[in-house]
């Protein structure tokens, strides 16, 4: 994990010290260093960073005031020569504060804390994020000794009759030796629904529905009694 950061301090020497510390940490990426807090604010407005090191006591605007102006602030580590400012800094959910003169080992503790927090947050997001599966866009079926490509977004409906099916698309009709159950296993579940023992329809091609029939183009297709509840759930969820 790389952590992008900027440093804001009106004292050039303090700025130099922090910048040199950052250069020694492989996972920190310094994207800006500013003695003028207003230039730093402009940087943060234009480009998001992960971590902001900011001095609390500055002439024109304090580090605390600067952070309060940010709508979506990055992780904050305050630097200060006065320990009395620390409580107010933590009230702004600062990750840490560094008391000047800053020792490298104390700096390391602060940035490791930031890294650990970000890694835990990222891991938590991964746990709750459902894994996305690649949704196929087409299938091939055999018809008249040929493999015919069927684009799912062109399918209107599929009509079944014993051991074969007829696939009605916007451009053609294809007959193939396949069962309704077999073709359902090939179709993207979220794009198609079976409405009858003999019909599967593309959900986005449905133009209207009555209690017992679905209309697609000029075709009026029956809804089987055993499929009514499932059709209603899928179409009105």
Can you give the pLDDT of all 237 residues of the chain as single tens digits? 899 999 999 999 999 999 999 999 999 999 999 999 999 999 999 999 999 999 999 988 999 999 999 988 999 999 988 776 655 655 677 899 899 999 999 999 999 999 999 999 888 776 665 555 667 899 999 998 889 999 999 999 999 987 799 999 999 999 999 889 989 999 998 899 999 999 999 999 999 988 789 999 889 999 999 998 888 888 876
pLDDT of residue 129: 58
Strands, DSSP E only, in 93-134? 96-99
Q: Quote the pLDDT of residue 86.
A: 58
Residues 206, 156 contacting (CB under 8 angstroms): no
Task: Give the pLDDT confidence score for residue 91 in this predicted structure.
Answer: 62
Closest CA to 87 of 53, 64, 112: 64
Q: What's residue 128's pLDDT?
A: 60
Q: pTM for this one?
A: 0.55
Q: Residue 221's Cα: distance from chain center in Å?
A: 39
Concatenated DSSP letters for 41-77?
Answer: HHHHHHS--SEEEEES--SSS-HHHHHHT-SS--EEE
Ranges in the chain annotated CATH 2.40.50.1020? 138-236
Q: Options 3.40.50.450, 3.40.50.300, 2.40.50.1020, 3.30.70.420; which CATH number does 138-236 get?
A: 2.40.50.1020
CATH superfamily of 3-128: Response regulator (3.40.50.2300)
202-227 burial: b if 16+ Cβ within 10 Å, else e: beebbeeeeeeebebeebebebeeeb
The segment(s) of the chain belonging to CATH 3.40.50.2300 are 3-128
- Residue in this structure with the two tokens 């629904």, named with its chain if needed: 193
């Amino acid at each position: 994990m790389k952590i992008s950061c900027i440093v804001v301090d009106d004292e050039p020497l303090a700025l130099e010290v922090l910048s040199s510390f950052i250069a020694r940490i492989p996972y920190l990426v310094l994207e800006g260093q500013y003695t003028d807090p207003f230039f730093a604010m402009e940087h943060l407005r234009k480009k998001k960073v992960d971590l902001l090191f900011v001095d609390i006591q500055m002439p024109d605007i304090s580090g605390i005031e600067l952070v309060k102006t940010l709508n979506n602030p990055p992780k904050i580590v305050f630097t200060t020569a006065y320990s009395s400012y620390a409580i107010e800094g933590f009230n702004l959910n600062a990750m840490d504060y560094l008391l000047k003169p800053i020792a490298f080992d104390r700096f390391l503790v602060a940035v490791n804390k930031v890294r650990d927090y970000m890694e835990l947050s990222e891991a938590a997001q991964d746990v709750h994020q459902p894994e996305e599966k690649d949704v196929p866009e087409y299938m091939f079926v055999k018809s008249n000794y040929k493999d015919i490509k069927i684009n799912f977004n062109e399918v209107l409906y599929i009509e079944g009759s014993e051991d074969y099916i007829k696939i009605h698309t916007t451009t053609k009709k294809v007959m193939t030796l396949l069962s309704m159950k077999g073709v359902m296993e090939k179709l993207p579940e979220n794009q198609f629904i079976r409405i009858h023992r003999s019909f599967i329809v593309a959900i986005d091609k449905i133009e209207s529905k009555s209690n017992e029939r679905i209309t697609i183009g000029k075709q009026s297709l029956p809804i089987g009694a055993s499929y009514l509840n499932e059709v209603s759930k899928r179409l009105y969820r």
